[in-house]
Structure 1
Amino acid sequence: MTLTQLLIVLRARWISFVVVLACAAALAVAANLLLPKRYSATAMVVLDVKSPDPIAGVVLPGANTSGYMATQADVFRSERVAQRAARELGMDKDADLQRMWRDVTQGVGDYNSWLADVLLRGLDVRPGRESNVLAVTYTTADPRNAARIANAFVSAYVGTTLDLRTEPAKQYSNFFDERAKHARDALESAQGKLSAYQQQKGLMATDEKYDVENARLTELSTQLVALQAVASESAGRQGQMGGNPNQMSEVLNNALISSLKGDLARQEAKLDEMSSKFGDQHPQVLEAKASIAQIKQKIDTEVRRVSGSVTANNSVNQQRLAQLRTSIEEQRAKMMFLKGQRDEAAVLMRDVENAQRNYDAVQARMSQTALESQTTQTNVSVLKNASMPLDPSSPRTKLNLAIALVVGTLLAVGVVIVRETLDQRLRTEADVIAYLRQPLLGSLPVDNRARPNGRLRLGLSKAGMFGGGMPRLAK
């Protein structure tokens, strides 16, 4: 059925359409009048999830997760919050409510749990879309009670979030207090062991003694290197003395030997001159030869003396070198002994440092948890307190009427279509071709005077056209 055909059918069967629509509207009005009126009061709270904790200095873990707001909504709807709200409202001591509980449950179960379940039936908590706001709505028959209970739930939720934060902190504070005592005892024990060891070994708290001995070892090593060079040089000179002592630097640089060699050279020159002049047997020549032999003897004596000093110097250097090596070995042994003592003391000092760090860490955590257990601030702030509603939240008259009109319209259209299906009529020229499957030869003009309402309907059926019946005019 096309839209044009549907409009023609609705125009033809408008009475049925109006009757069904009127019945639906009447039912909606009756429901609005018969249903009890209920009032809803709304409060709003905001959760600060970005600001750091004033005590810990960090953002609360899990506050930025996607399920944080849903978790807080579940906490709002928890039995613990409901029981706290009931205590704030004084319902836990209400005799009428206790009597109702006995009548309903025959005294079986917990009264506070039953009361919390009753209160939670009218509570609705909705997290804001992409926000940190919780909308708390409470619905009941009394507008004053709706506002009171909604505000009581908000207050109970704030108190419960504070308890959920301080109760673990109190437990942790007691735990860290015990751990601090053990840490302090361990620190005192480690310090006592270190002090006893230092007194026993004669060690100071610093490494001055070790540093002094290490500096002495370094100085001895430096002296050894220098003396090795000197001893090597003296040994080389001594070896040179065995080959040609006259070429030694000590001999060449000796002033007496140089003077004697000069005298020897002069005497030899004089001897050559005299020998060529007087002959080898002349007394002056003989005297000059004797003088030359005496000078050579003096030179040999002085060379032997210088060579002996080189040998003695080399012996002294080798002896000093041996003594210095012995001193270095003794100093190294002393250093190893001191190093062993220092290592043992270092182990004890590390024990003291570890015990101190452990004690400081426990003390810091104990101070922090003690502050957290005494805090009175939460990350929940009240944006809006619930006020007494002036208009009922249900039944919603306008909404119900609108829904009734929409549903009634659809139902009326359905009824019209069903009636038209059960009792088909030829209402347009296209219906003749569509339903009778016959060619259209002509159409009669409509005479508006034939009916008081100015319309004339021609009702034809397949039985009337082909079963010998006559066309029927339907007014």
Structure 2
Amino acid sequence: MNLQQFFQILRARIWVALMVFALVVVGAMVVSLVLPKQYTGEVVLTVDAKPVDPINGLAAPNVLAPDYMTTQAQIITSHNTALNVVDALGLDKLPETREAFIADTQGHGNIRDWLAKSLLRSLEVEPARDSRIINLSFTAADPQFAAAIANAFSQAYVKTVSDIRSNAAQQNSVFFETQLKTLQKNLETAQRRYSDYQREQGIVATDERLDTETQRLNDLSSQVVMAQSQTYDARARARGDNAPDVLNNPLIQQLKSQLAQQQGKFDELAQRVGPNHPHYIAAKAELDATRTELAELTRQYASGLSSAASSSASRQASLTGALAAQKERVLKLKGDRAELDVLQRQMENAQRAYETTLDRYSQSMIESRAEATNISVLQAAPIPLKPSSPRMLLNLALAIFTGGLLGIGFALVFELLDRRVRSVRDIEHGLGLPVLAELALAPAPVSKKRRWLPGRSRPANPALQPA
């Protein structure tokens, strides 16, 4: 079907289209006039974007996020918010409300729940896109009732948000209060263990024993090193008769020189006299006496050096033992200090946990008593002066548009049910034969009809009668 065929069908079925169009328009007008008038109360709410919570100092959630605004809209349309509206206005105590409840439910169920569901059916909530604005509207037959319910929903929404926050804070405060008791016991136990261990080990806050014992350990370590050096030197010097100190002694060197002189004289005398000569015997006795004195003196000096080396070794051993004992003492003090530090850290951690929980408990208590929210009523619902429905002009426009579409549709349906040949294309399309020629017929002349007179018989076929 082309556009020309469409207009030909529409022109041929114009009365059908006009009839359907008129029926739709008249029906819409009648319905608009018959329907009761409805009034809508509108409230505008704003959600403040607070970067930091003034109570706990934490960053507030991103209120510009779509899910946040959608959540707020769902809170407004929640059953709990509607129940708050019912309780705030006392709707469940009105006689007419009870009569309507009994008529609808035969007295089964809860009237508050029934009222809440009824109110939610006429409530509309629409968060503004890319904004912190929420539009709340309620529609009813009474303009004052519509405005009152809309304002009540806004106040109930603020109260619901405040209750949610305060209830959560109250639950947190109960939890923190329970934890505080446990943490306080832990803190007392840690403090008692710390003080008991400090008293048992004799450690005070300004104790300097570890520093003193460490200094003493360092001194003993230096003394041991020095004693080791002295012992090594004494042992090096005490090497018997050939020790350097023995050989370099002036008295021993003097005796050695005297012995050498006497040995020379004795050798010279032995060449002149025999062994039985008195001078020979006297010289030999003097030489033996000098040798004995030199040997005794050398032995005494060597024995003194050996005693000095032994004494130095004993002192070194004593200092080494003292150093080992001092190390044990210092290590024990360090171990006591380490254990005390562990107990102190445990006490500090318990103190820190207790103080942190106490702060959170205080914040939760403040939050549970705070009623401020980040929601404000930007515009309360005034009493509507004009009905919101039915909208006569809008319904008329929709009826005209819908009637036009339905009229055209019915015209096409009638054409499909009773197909007519209205153009050459219809013949070609319907019969599948080409059209060779198209004759244009002149309009037939209008014949004058003969007046029928009474008493005469009416012709059988008036078209065959002469003009």
Do 1:32 and 1:395's aligned partners in 2 also have CA atoms closer than 8 Å? Answer: yes
Which residue of structure 2 aligns with residue 465 of structure 1?
none
Which residue of structure 2 aligns with residue 18 of structure 1?
18
Which residue of structure 2 aligns with residue 171 of structure 1?
171
Which residue of structure 2 aligns with residue 464 of structure 1?
none
- C-alpha displacement at 1:351, in angstroms? 4.2
TM-score of the aligned structures, taking structure 2 as reference length = 0.78
**Aligned amino acid, residue 194 of structure 2:** L
Q: Does 1:318 align with 2:313?
A: yes
Q: Percent identity?
A: 38
- C-alpha displacement at 1:143, in angstroms? 2.4
Is the partner of 2:406 in helix, strand or coil? helix
Q: Does 1:392 align with 2:350?
A: no
1:316-348 deviations in Å (ceiling 9; x for gaps): 210101111221233234345545544554454
For 1:108 and 1:26, the matched residues in 2 are separated by 42
Matches within 5 A, 1:258-273: none
* CA 209–429 in structure 1, closer or farther in 2 if over 3 Å, else same: same
Matches within 5 A, 1:240-255: 241-242=239-240, 250=245
**Aligned amino acid, residue 135 of structure 1:** N
Which residue of structure 2 aligns with residue 236 of structure 1?
236
Question: Which has the higher mean CA deviation after the structures are superposed, 384-393 or 366-375?
Answer: 384-393
| Correspondent of 2:438 among 435, 443, 468 | 443
**Aligned amino acid, residue 86 of structure 2:** A
* CA 265–151 in structure 1, closer or farther in 2 if over 3 Å, else same: farther
1:354-405 deviations in Å (ceiling 9; x for gaps): 4322321221221111121122322323333323334322223233223222
Which residue of structure 2 aligns with residue 198 of structure 1?
198
Alignment gaps of 5+ in structure 1: 453-475
Is the partner of 1:139 in helix, strand or coil? strand
TM-score of the aligned structures, taking structure 1 as reference length = 0.77
Matches within 5 A, 1:346-425: 346=341, 348-425=343-420
* CA 92–415 in structure 1, closer or farther in 2 if over 3 Å, else same: closer
* CA 443–340 in structure 1, closer or farther in 2 if over 3 Å, else same: closer
Alignment gaps of 5+ in structure 2: 273-279, 447-467
Which residue of structure 1 aligns with residue 148 of structure 2?
148
For 1:200 and 1:421, the matched residues in 2 are separated by 112
**Aligned amino acid, residue 443 of structure 1:** E
* CA 115–419 in structure 1, closer or farther in 2 if over 3 Å, else same: closer
- C-alpha displacement at 1:161, in angstroms? 0.5
For 1:419 and 1:136, the matched residues in 2 are separated by 48
Is the partner of 1:55 in helix, strand or coil? coil
Which residue of structure 2 aligns with residue 72 of structure 1?
72
- C-alpha displacement at 1:58, in angstroms? 2.5
* CA 266–61 in structure 1, closer or farther in 2 if over 3 Å, else same: farther
* CA 256–434 in structure 1, closer or farther in 2 if over 3 Å, else same: same
Is the partner of 1:136 in helix, strand or coil? strand
For 2:259 and 2:76, the matched residues in 1 are separated by 126
- C-alpha displacement at 1:255, in angstroms? 6.7
Question: Which has the higher mean CA deviation after the structures are superposed, 376-385 or 363-372?
Answer: 376-385
- C-alpha displacement at 1:46, in angstroms? 3.3
Is the partner of 1:51 in helix, strand or coil? coil
Q: CA RMSD in A?
A: 4.0
The number of residue pairs the alignment matches comes to 439
Do 1:48 and 1:379's aligned partners in 2 also have CA atoms closer than 8 Å? Answer: yes
Do 1:138 and 1:149's aligned partners in 2 also have CA atoms closer than 8 Å? Answer: yes
**Aligned amino acid, residue 322 of structure 1:** A
Which residue of structure 2 aligns with residue 134 of structure 1?
134
- C-alpha displacement at 1:9, in angstroms? 1.7
- C-alpha displacement at 1:146, in angstroms? 1.8
- C-alpha displacement at 1:123, in angstroms? 0.8
Which residue of structure 2 aligns with residue 329 of structure 1?
324
Q: Does 1:184 align with 2:184?
A: yes
1:240-287 deviations in Å (ceiling 9; x for gaps): x23xx55x55467767778889x889989xx99xx99xxx97xxxx9x
**Aligned amino acid, residue 144 of structure 1:** Q
Do 1:122 and 1:138's aligned partners in 2 also have CA atoms closer than 8 Å? Answer: yes
- C-alpha displacement at 1:49, in angstroms? 5.9
1:103-123 deviations in Å (ceiling 9; x for gaps): 444444333222222222211
Which residue of structure 1 aligns with residue 114 of structure 2?
114
Do 2:137 and 2:150's aligned partners in 1 also have CA atoms closer than 8 Å? Answer: yes
